[in-house]
Amino acid sequence: MPYDNAAAETVMGLFKNEAVAQGSPFRTGALKTEDDVIEIVFE
């Protein structure tokens, strides 16, 4: 039985567009470290 990862790809696409994209309202500056990304995700 084949497995499709379309749902995961959709979630990751939305995450990139909404949380970590340049100019996103969730960002307050450059993301330089993993901790910067973690801070945005958990806010």
Q: pTM above the 0.85 mark?
A: no
pLDDT at 14: 79
pLDDT at 1: 53
In DSSP notation, 11-28 reads: HHHHHIIIIISTT-TT-S
3-state secondary structure of 7: helix
pLDDT tens readout for residues 1-43: 566 788 888 888 877 778 778 787 677 778 788 898 888 778 7
By residue count, the chain amounts to: 43
In the numeric block, the tokens 């995961």 are attached to 8
